[in-house]
Amino acid sequence: MQNSYFDFNATAPVRPEVIEAMNLAMADPGNASSVHSFGRGARALVEDSRAKVAKLVGAKPEWVIFCGSGTEADNQVLRCCPAETVLISAIEHDAVRFARSDSRKIQVTKNGLVDLGALDAALNQASGLTLISVMAANNETGVIQPLEEINRLAKRYGALVHTDAIQAAGKIEVDMTSWDLDFLSLSAHKIGGPQGVGALIARDKSLLGRFVHGGGQEYALRAGTENVPGIAGFGAAAVCAQNELDTFSKLAEWRNDLEDRLLAIDNSITIFGRSEARLPNTSKIATPGFSAEVQVLGMDLAGYAISSGSACSAGRVDLPFVLTEMGVAEELASCAIRISLGWTTTEVQISGFVDAWSKLYSRNRERISTNTA
């Protein structure tokens, strides 16, 4: 039995170039805040990686604040920006949804796009400095949000815009400068870097308060000794991701082929967001009567790693709130799985996946028929 990884949106396998960069960094004992030669060597690695991460998303190196995760980056901007009103899309990652108890949700369409009319109305009623947080692409459906339109609308009201680009970076072109964004969050492990390293990118750092208190690291906005090996790995992953953007975009052909072949098995399958622009690697599908839990566990036994949604639920197979916010009935949402491809995926694995899923479907056909009766 082969083992095939189809859960890149949860985390991507670490790239060989990243392991090499981290090994070299770990061989150097320097603290990046020390003034001796070892410290200066560590500082050079941090600053080199800062430039590489910035380049991946069209930012300036001095805008990049390294931190411990994408979740931390999201929390820092939402909790430390002095915004009186915070507007978030209804389908944001939990790192944004739960960062502030007073944030206001903006509804999305049935296809998972932010309702621009609802956003306009909310901005019209907002008071004081307003911060809008909308992810660049949804981690479950892969649907890409109209950030340029959102930003133009925000600027009419003098609002700031943050985007969680953790799923989008390295999969599509992300350009913080041309999009005219104020804040952007990243995470290394989504692009083949190490877990436990993220970045908050801030055009104007004076709009942020300190999140972790202590020393003066990261422009005095994120205290703590820098994770030099992790940051070096982040930089190496950023270079790989940028160099392979064109290659990654071609995954859409395999993803579409996979969807078409599953539809040929059961034409009642729903593919969420298929009519909208999506990340090229992501497919969120639901087969009526075929529970997500049965599919996730069954495909795992067949050697294929998939998920039912976000990987931030402590291993549970939960009802995906993203779909319910899109107006999907709970019975169908409970049958939804997420398939996400990446740099290790092969065409042979796609065919193997379809065959394995077809066999699992056939074994459960009676149960599926009962559940949909």
Give the residue ranges of DSSP H helices in the chain.
Answer: 16-26, 37-56, 70-80, 94-97, 116-125, 147-156, 176-179, 217-220, 228-243, 245-249, 251-265, 292-301, 321-325, 330-333, 347-363, 365-372
Bridge partners (DSSP) of residue 198 are: 67, 187
Question: What pTM was computed for the model?
Answer: 0.94
Q: Please indicate, yes or no, whether residues 204 and 306 belong to a single structural domain of this protein.
A: no
State in Å, rounded, how far the first CA of the chain is from the last one.
34
Q: Please indicate, yes or no, whether residues 156 and 259 belong to a single structural domain of this protein.
A: no
Distance separating alpha carbons of residues 339 and 309, to the nearest angstrom: 9
Kindly state the percentage of the chain with pLDDT values over 70.
97
Kindly report the CATH number assigned to the domain that includes residue 103.
Answer: 3.40.640.10
What angle separates helix 116-125 from helix 147-156, to the nearest 10 degrees?
20
3-state secondary structure of 208: coil
Of the residues 243, 268, 290, the one at which a domain ends = 243
Of the residues 243, 264, 294, the one at which a domain ends = 243
What pLDDT is attached to residue 213?
Answer: 94
User: Mean of the pLDDT values across residues 129-145?
Assistant: 98
pLDDT at 76 over 70: yes
Residue 42 Cα distances to 24, 27, 79, 212, 228, angstroms: 11, 11, 30, 21, 7
The residue range of the domain holding 300 is 4-12+246-372
What pLDDT is attached to residue 314?
Answer: 43
Of the residues 194, 221, 243, the one at which a domain ends = 243
pLDDT band at 317 (very low <50, low <70, confident <90, very high): low
Q: Please indicate, yes or no, whether residues 158 and 279 belong to a single structural domain of this protein.
A: no
Distance separating alpha carbons of residues 49 and 242, to the nearest angstrom: 13
Could you give the number of structural domains in the chain? Answer: 2
Q: Please indicate, yes or no, whether residues 254 and 347 belong to a single structural domain of this protein.
A: yes
* pLDDT, mean over the chain: 95
User: Mean of the pLDDT values across residues 140-166?
Assistant: 97
Kindly report the CATH number assigned to the domain that includes residue 355.
Answer: 3.90.1150.10
What pLDDT is attached to residue 200?
Answer: 98
pLDDT at 72 over 60: yes
**Residue 61 DSSP one-character state:** G
Q: How does strand 198-202 pair with strand 183-187?
A: antiparallel
What angle separates helix 347-363 from helix 292-301, to the nearest 10 degrees?
120
Q: Please indicate, yes or no, whether residues 311 and 264 belong to a single structural domain of this protein.
A: yes
The mean-pLDDT minimum among 39-53, 214-228, 297-311 falls in 297-311
User: Mean of the pLDDT values across residues 89-115?
Assistant: 97
What pLDDT is attached to residue 168?
Answer: 98
Q: Please indicate, yes or no, whether residues 314 and 195 belong to a single structural domain of this protein.
A: no
Distance separating alpha carbons of residues 61 and 50, to the nearest angstrom: 6
What pLDDT is attached to residue 2?
Answer: 57
Using one digit for the tens of pLDDT, what is the confidence trace for 343-354? 999 999 999 999
Q: Please indicate, yes or no, whether residues 90 and 121 belong to a single structural domain of this protein.
A: yes
3-state secondary structure of 33: coil
Q: Report the catalytic residues.
A: 312
CB 224 within 8 A of CB 67: no
User: Mean of the pLDDT values across residues 20-31?
Assistant: 94
Q: Please indicate, yes or no, whether residues 69 and 215 belong to a single structural domain of this protein.
A: yes
Distance separating alpha carbons of residues 245 and 289, to the nearest angstrom: 37
User: Mean of the pLDDT values across residues 175-183?
Assistant: 94
Using one digit for the tens of pLDDT, what is the confidence trace for 297-315? 999 999 999 998 655 554 5
What pLDDT is attached to residue 184?
Answer: 98
**Residue 240 DSSP one-character state:** H
Q: Please indicate, yes or no, whether residues 85 and 34 belong to a single structural domain of this protein.
A: yes
What residue has token string 């074994």?
363
User: Mean of the pLDDT values across residues 264-275?
Assistant: 97
Q: Please indicate, yes or no, whether residues 84 and 166 belong to a single structural domain of this protein.
A: yes
Q: Please indicate, yes or no, whether residues 101 and 195 belong to a single structural domain of this protein.
A: yes
Q: Please indicate, yes or no, whether residues 198 and 312 belong to a single structural domain of this protein.
A: no
CB 113 within 8 A of CB 74: no
pLDDT band at 320 (very low <50, low <70, confident <90, very high): confident
